[in-house]
Structure 1
Amino acid sequence: MNNKIKSIVSNHYRIPLAEVLYDAKHGKHTHFELITVEITLESNLTGMGYTYTGGKGGSAIHRLLVDDLAPVLVGQEADKVEQLWKMLNWHVHFVGRGGVTSFAIAALDIALWDLRAKSEQLPLWKLLGGNQTEVQAYAGLIDLNYSMEREQEVIAKKLEQGYRGIKIKVGLDDLERDIQRTRSIRNLIPSDIEFMVDANMKWNVQDAIWIGKAMEDLSVTWFEEPTLPDDFAAFRSIGEQIQIPLAQGENLHTLFEFQAALQTNVLQFPQPDVGTIGGITPWLHVAKLCADRDLMVSSHGMHEMHVSLLAGVPNPGYLEVHSFPIDQYMLHPFQFSNGTARPPDVIGHGVVFDQNKLFSFLLENRFF
């Protein structure tokens, strides 16, 4: 088979959410964005990749991808995935490590892994060595501005759908009000259901410790992103002074940031996001780092992709089913029931977008 990359098509979409969502740092979410790529080989085999945003920054990601990254891939051998990932990083290393660069590289890297799995005639999770057909899943809510009536309605629906874990947003300016709200919500959730809280980097060390201690009697599974993600000294200080396990990962955009976070020795629930860390290649490296520390690896966002990654590694933790419904724009539905998700038993990673559903949200299309 001719593995040389013949062409790349890239699309940028901006998709409205069904309702406005809020969190502590990003504020209002009205849309999410998709940046997709399709890589075609000389053999005409195609691979699909993508990344996403919370509604901002997609144009910058797409410009970097189409102006600087995709052109250098054309003509390369697609099966050299790790080598190509390193090449893309070094190609723009001087102007950006992490951030927009990692998002753009992620879309291309995911497409290359799709091609690798298709060339081997295997589902991605089996290519990775997985033999699990189910992954634990929880519902990740973006609910900071919900009324208690709306909160109760949403949680009841998630429990009815079979979720065995619920994550809520915390991070109101008034700490006393925030803990009262958290207690009220905890009372809506049965004690045998996992309960996670996510502060979206809201607090300084003092406030994070205060609210962490105030939640210690609420059977909280984890306290996510209590402070700025790359202030590792602050993160360590919080973890050493509260009893609730800490989680983070979505805002750690390089392998080196994850290494530093793990070296704090207080990160108990690592959550790499394949769309923000640079793709499947670094995601797998993070999973190995976690395994070396006897930690399970969980996920953030892109549940339709992460289900295959978690099923493919020996140390799967929790799959977050995110509030950005990317899976609603796929041809093959995301499979979830009774608290678990199932990886797609199809060749490749199985994420195929429905272009008829996406077409009206297209902002830009580029071809190489």
Structure 2
Amino acid sequence: MSIAAFRITRFQFARDRIIGDSQVRADDANVAALELVSDSGQVGLGFIQTLFSPLPDQAEIERVFATEVWPGLERQRAIALVHRVNRPRGGNQRATSLPFHEALQVALWDLAAKEVGLPLHTLLGSRRNRVKAYASGLDFHLSDDDYQALFAHAAAIGYRAFKIKVGHADFERDLHRLALLKQVVPASSEVMIDANEGWSSKEALMKLEVIRRAGHDLLWVEDPILRHDYEGLRMLRHAVSWTQINSGEYLDLQGKRLLLEAHGTDILNVHGQVSDVMRIGWLAADMGIPVSLGNTFLEIGVHMAVALPEVEWLEYSFQNFDYLVDEPIEIRDGYAYAPERPGHGLVLSEAARRDWARPQLLPRDQLGEAPANPRLSLTK
């Protein structure tokens, strides 16, 4: 089954809430579905996503993909491409003009698993079908009321671990949000904080001690300082013995390897690039470093999470993308379940293609109301 064609469907829509952290905010979504079609009619699906600026018109996305990516895919078998390694040299070491990297890996792995009739997680070597999920608010820009409503809802539907955004210019606000969280989640809950590199290493050490003295136990602190400050991360690991450092989110595959070699993290944070995640996950397992799956589009990361040996947690942040596919990943009672359908189990919804495709770039004020989010309803 060789790859015979591709389809790209561009989406652009308002979000149902502002998402963000101490560094960024977004109130719209810019996504394109990439479908790789085999000569037997099988389809591999991945999603192209930008956070800070809209994708160009669909015709331009298709042109760039056809020019920069398609020549390396046409008439190839997906299963023969997913493990291919190229040694980058000179001008050959460059990103594509649009962010196709993750979408391409996901679509190829989806198609490869379908070629052999297996769920993706089984092809990757899983011995289980579920992983614990924690509720992540992307909550930095929410009001106190909406913040509490989000996490109260998460607790009510079975989550027992919660991650909040910190790193505010006024540190009292971070302490205030931790106190507000305690009011709406069970006392036995696991709590994580994410500073998104908002602190320096010494500042992080001082603030973490204040957080502890205020009575807040933390499972981990995520990205407390700059991603490449391996020495500072290593110092925090040793100085703050009562919690764990979770880092690596912003690093590419090489950067994650350097982070592990520098002993700069207790938990390695990875995302949705299937091949990259498996490669670095194997290395982390060899070094005895646990892995956590951060946000992955439509929770595709559940497949890697259940296949790697050191993964305890998958992030879920109530982003409103479920309507894009026929059957989303099941999340129930604080666990995410890997589908038993061939491939990754996600199929682009024809209703979404009909009703929500936006081939041309629209101004933000023309996006209208956000689609309904069945997994979350916040007070407006």
Q: TM-score, normalised by structure 1?
A: 0.87
Structure 1 contact 5–40 (Cα < 8 Å) conserved: yes
- Aligned position for 1:14: 12
Q: After the TM superposition, which residues 98-177 of structure 1 pair with which residues of structure 2 at under 5 Å, given as runs?
A: 103-177=99-173
The Cα of 1:12 is off from its aligned counterpart by 3.2
SS of 1:37's partner is strand
- Aligned position for 2:326: 331
CA distance in 1, matches of 2:342, 2:94: 36
| Percentage of identical aligned residues | 24
Aligned partner of 1:247: which letter? N
Cα deviation, 1:67-90, whole Å, max 9, x if unaligned, reads 312333223332212454638x77
Runs of 4+ more than 6 Å apart = 89-92
The Cα of 1:119 is off from its aligned counterpart by 1.0
The Cα of 1:127 is off from its aligned counterpart by 1.4
CA, structure 1 residues 224+199, in 2 after alignment: closer, same or farther (shift >3 Å)? same
CA, structure 1 residues 203+345, in 2 after alignment: closer, same or farther (shift >3 Å)? same
1:31 to 3, 28, 32: 28
CA distance in 1, matches of 2:140, 2:2: 48
Structure 1 contact 35–107 (Cα < 8 Å) conserved: no
CA distance in 1, matches of 2:147, 2:78: 47
CA, structure 1 residues 326+93, in 2 after alignment: closer, same or farther (shift >3 Å)? farther
CA distance in 2, matches of 1:246, 1:208: 11
The Cα of 1:280 is off from its aligned counterpart by 0.9
Structure 1 contact 65–105 (Cα < 8 Å) conserved: no
Tell me how large the CA RMSD over aligned residues is: 2.7
| Structure 2 segments unaligned to the other structure (5+ residues) | 362-380
Structure 1 contact 11–364 (Cα < 8 Å) conserved: no
Moved more, 111-120 or 307-316: 307-316
Aligned partner of 1:285: which letter? R
CA distance in 2, matches of 1:328, 1:48: 15
Structure 1 contact 197–224 (Cα < 8 Å) conserved: yes
- Aligned position for 1:317: 312
- Aligned position for 2:245: 246
CA, structure 1 residues 83+143, in 2 after alignment: closer, same or farther (shift >3 Å)? closer
CA distance in 1, matches of 2:97, 2:229: 21
CA, structure 1 residues 361+233, in 2 after alignment: closer, same or farther (shift >3 Å)? farther
CA, structure 1 residues 57+91, in 2 after alignment: closer, same or farther (shift >3 Å)? farther
Q: TM-score, normalised by structure 2?
A: 0.84
Q: After the TM superposition, which residues 203-218 of structure 1 pair with which residues of structure 2 at under 5 Å, given as runs?
A: 203-216=199-212, 217-218=215-216
Structure 1 contact 20–29 (Cα < 8 Å) conserved: yes
CA, structure 1 residues 186+115, in 2 after alignment: closer, same or farther (shift >3 Å)? same
Structure 1 contact 245–266 (Cα < 8 Å) conserved: no
- Aligned position for 1:192: 188
Moved more, 15-24 or 179-188: 179-188
CA distance in 1, matches of 2:158, 2:292: 19
